[in-house]
Structure 1
Amino acid sequence: MAEYLPDPLILDILSRLTDSSDIARCQVASKTLNSIAQNVQHINLVCTLSRYLKSRSPEGRHRVTPFKTIFSKLVQKSRRLESISIGVDKALAGIAFDDFEDESDDLFLTDIEFVKDWLPRVCEDLRFLSISDFWVQSCWRKTEVLALISSCCHKLLELEVRNAWLSVDGVNPMLRLTSLTLEFIRLEDEDLNKVNECFPCLQDLNLVGVGGLKDPKIHMLHLKTCLWTVSNAPLSLSIVAPNLIELKLKCIKPKLLVLETPLLSDFYLSLEKASNVRVKEFQNLQNLQLESSSFCYIIDAFPLGNTIKKLKVDLLKSTEPETIRKFDLGALFNVFPNVKSLTLGPRAWSQVETCFCKEGLENQTGMKELTEIMAHLVIDDIDVTLSIIFCILDKCTNLSSVALLIYREVDSSIANKLISRCTVDHPKIRWRWGMWKEGTEDTWLSDDI
């Protein structure tokens, strides 16, 4: 059938295949497809859990083509590659060390000898490279793959490495690299310092679950977006990035947190608590999403200013209940007077109800600029919940849109009563209703009831 289609159309079809194992099958099936497939400019090959299990079974191990062999053949038959992604499926993360009896390296994808065999052939035009290793095989084998990549991939713009123990010895500066992702990587502080030095032009940096760091510091002058999920509890954590616009930072309990990011506009911070916080004033912060078990301490420590227009707040679970008791809606109203959009997570709303029952909102002036609010309700006492909602509406006179998500386990009669009271008592408000449950996506039921 391929013989009757023009070559450019066949190439376009093959280029749209997201799984390069399909391309490998096409090359075997037809000489025409084999020839045209050599012009495909990307390889995306993933070892699935089913393939892995078949390769380990007594009846399948001799019939399953080794994963590295398939990849190598694809590379050998390609004329010009701009993008390569090779890895193992996330489902293989469930393979326990106890289930792994030998010292195989058939899925050790950052193995320097394996990468040496194919990378120099395709490095000239390569713009994107992603290697997601098999942690069971890679975590105890230190690899110098970064040095190899930096020595030959001079046009590389984006690099992703996952599930590996990386060495930074011999890494050369990569001045064209603008995006770097390191996920579930073993590094040390001096290794991260080397990353700062060798990738000076990064604009996008993602560090997820990078272990082994005690006093990590990011110092990048051109960085614009950063995702940093710190899995351990470092002594100190620093980000110096004068051009950073978007930051998502998730950490546990650093003793010292230093942020020098004056141009930050979008900030997501998940932090249990920090003994010492040093932050230069944010000049352009517009959107803030804050999760903490010591909320009042955090907002007191951060010079957040009056620039924030969109605010989302929730409380983390804490083994120290006294750290969250001080949270109340009045603190938000006082610290963020110019917020236009406010979202309260379920634990935040629960604490709002607790504080309201003790102190009310009588002494608070309200967010005069607030036009929309979203809250995740539990409804332990419907009268208390209604009182808070109506009090907020009285205080925030510019509110025009209220979105309320009710916990899925709440009795339907109580939910219906709440909906009826709100819509009848405040018919001019645009109401939206939905349901929430932890671990699932919010479900919206209606608009403008």
Structure 2
Amino acid sequence: MDDLPPSLVLEILNRLADSADLARCRVASKSLNVLSREVRSVNLFCSLDRYLKSRAVETRLLVMPFKVILKSLMNDFVALDSVSIGVEKSLGRISYWHDDVEDWSDDLFLTDVGFAREWLPAIGRGLTSLSIVDFWVQSCWRQSKILALITLCCGNLQELELKNAWLSVDGLNRLNSLKCLTLEFIRLDDEDLSEVNYNFPHLEILNLIGVGGLNEPKIHLSHLKTCRWTVSNAPVSLSICAPSLSKLELKCVKPKSLIIQTPMLSDFHFCLQDASGLQVNEFPCLRKLQLHFPCLYSLITTFSSARTIKELTLNTMQRAESVESVKLCLDTLFEIFPNLSFLKLGPGVFSEAETCYQAEGLDERIGMRDLKKIHASLETYKVELKLPFIIPILEKCTDSLDMELLIYHNADSHLAGGIMSKRAVNHPRPKWRWELWKEGLKEPWAKGI
């Protein structure tokens, strides 16, 4: 390593995924020790193994406190622009009732503003990215004012990620540089989201995952382009006003009310369990739509007309037979979405459409002629029973149709392949792709016939 140019060594050090390796490099040689202080990013996470050793009687005195390591690292760099610290996902399994947990401990309470004051002011001005993943057991009952400190010290910050904490918005400063904000498993008070809207006005990406404590949350950001919002189980009134938003992923249970004012929306992922009283406004730019809902028929019929949508994905949360009597028919789909080029059907949706076909048949909708690809998951290992529904679809589509079917993992692959080989002689148009699937994973065993 001593023979390599310093610039190349520094580039290697900058690419280390774990800053614990950086500390090891410091004791390896004098040149590495000097160059290590010029790296631009720090990534250090406490593992479950380290946590358990710090609690065990026989090893606790041998483990240096995690906060001590972090503070010594942060105060030993000259050009940091990215910091990512926290606890690993494995520590999420630890609860209050774990034998080794002491409720009053704070050695992994990383959003502790007193601890952050010992290192953040020295490096904050140069930071463009900051991520802190806290230890929920120690942070959930301690409200932190870390946001105010971050907005005070990090005037050039562009990306901020905070997880597993109870945050206060008191004392926030306006941070015009921030473009991306992620809050995951965060507790806020009811009016705190309005402070986020005001103090981070130039956000372009916003991720709110499991943010609790909000009754009437409102997102009002004029520059927002991408938003992922997963709402907790409590029924709330949701409002999104984002004139520049192009992609929205929204997951909720049963909102009291839902207002979405996003005229530029082109990609919409929508997952909910109850849509009682839901009214859908026109989305003039919508091209891609994904719906995940127990009663798809009642949901898609709220779209009075969706001629702009080219790609449609439908999934059910449970078997449709146990939810509603009105089945979702392909005829209904192509009446509401007449200009589809791509259609993806989950296993429950495919079975529901098949049941409707058995009762009512299948009309030759004009929209089916524009269809370029169908992706469907079959919820059975008796593949031959699905052919009476599959073949009429092929006959009503054009020669350019590409059909991809995922077979249930217990299906006889040789039987399925033999059936489709014979059918391909009579129906050469589709490009058959049969793959095995299990619990959402695909295990391909054969490609196009």
TM range (shorter): over 0.9
8 Å CA contact retained: 1:293, 1:324: no
Encode CA deviations 1:45-94: one digit per residue, 9 max, x unaligned. 11111111111122221111211111111111101110000010001001
Pairing of 1:89-108 with structure 2 (within 5 A): 89-99=88-98, 100-108=101-109
Q: Where does 1:278-289 land on structure 2 (aligned, <5 Å)? A: 278-289=279-290
Instruction: Please give the per-residue CA displacement for 1:245-292, whole angstroms capped at 9, x wherever unaligned.
Output: 111111111121211111111111111222233443211111111111
Q: Following the alignment from structure 1 to structure 2, what is the Cα–Cα distance between the partners of residues 268 and 24?
A: 43
1:243 deviates by 0.5
- 2:131 counterpart residue number: 130
| 1:392 paired to 2:393 | yes
**Equivalent position of 2:160 in the other structure:** 159
The 5 Å alignment of 1:7-406 reads 7-99=6-98, 100-303=101-304, 305-317=306-318, 321-323=322-324, 325-362=326-363, 364=365, 366-379=367-380, 382=383, 384-406=385-407
The SS at the match of 1:263 is coil
CA distance in 2, matches of 1:188, 1:437: 41
CA contact (8 A) 1:365 1:395 kept: no
Change (3 A) 1:262 1:131: same
Q: Residue deviations 1:284-336, cap 9 Å, x none?
A: 11111111112122222235521111111111127993437432222211111
8 Å CA contact 1:315, 1:347 repeated in 2: yes
Deviation of 1:384 (Å)? 4.4
CA distances 1:20-50 after superposition (whole Å, capped 9, x unpaired): 0111122233332221111001111111111
Counterpart secondary structure, 1:357: helix
Secondary structure at the counterpart of residue 218 of structure 1: strand
Q: Is the 8 A contact 1:406 1:434 kept in 2?
A: yes
Provide the rounded CA distance (Å) in 1 between the counterparts of 2:106 and 2:319.
42
Secondary structure of the 1:149 match is: helix
- 2: CA distance, partners of 1:176 / 1:426: 57
Q: Secondary structure at the match of 1:297?
A: helix
Secondary structure at the counterpart of residue 447 of structure 1: coil
Cα 1:348/1:368, change in 2 over 3 Å: same
SS of the aligned residue for 2:192 comes to: helix
Structure 2 match to 1:416: 417
Secondary structure of 2:327 counterpart: coil
Deviation at 1:398, TM superposition (A): 4.8
Are 1:357 and 1:384, in contact at CA under 8 Å, matched by a contact in 2?
A: no
CA gap 1:59/1:422 in 2 versus in 1, 3 angstroms = farther
Following TM superposition, by how much is the alpha carbon of 1:428 offset from its aligned partner in structure 2, in angstroms? 2.8
Counterparts of 2:320 and 2:220, CA distance in 1:
33
Distance 1:239 1:382 in 2: 44
Contact 1:256 1:275 in 2 (8 A): no
Range that drifts further, 424-433 or 44-53: 424-433
Deviation at 1:177, TM superposition (A): 0.4
- Aligned AA for 1:395? K
After superposition, the CA RMSD in angstroms is 1.9
Deviation at 1:132, TM superposition (A): 0.3
Measured after TM superposition, the shift of residue 372 of structure 1 is: 1.0
Aligned length: 447
Matches of 1:374 and 1:169, distance apart in 2: 49
**Partner Cα distance (1:95, 1:138) in 2:** 13
| Contact 2:436 2:443 survives alignment (8 Å) | yes
Shift in CA distance, 193/269, structure 1 to aligned 2, threshold 3 Å: same
* Aligned equivalents of 1:228, 1:246: Cα separation in 2: 11
Unaligned runs of 5+ in 2: none
Q: Is the 8 A contact 1:258 1:277 kept in 2?
A: no
Give 1:366 shift.
Answer: 5.0
Partner Cα distance (1:235, 1:256) in 2: 7
User: Which amino acid in 2 is paired with 1:232?
Assistant: N
Q: Structure 1, unaligned stretches of length 5 or more?
A: none
Cα–Cα, structure 1 residues 315 and 418, in superposed 2: closer, same or farther, change >3 Å? farther
Report sequence identity in percent: 50
Shift of 1:433: 1.2
What is the TM-score when the length of structure 2 is the normalising length? 0.95
Given residue 43 of structure 1, which amino acid in structure 2 is its aligned partner?
V
Partner of 2:446: 446
Q: Which moved more, 1:116-125 or 1:299-308?
A: 299-308
Seen in structure 2, the aligned counterparts of structure 1 residues 171 and 302 have a Cα distance that, compared at 3 Å, is farther
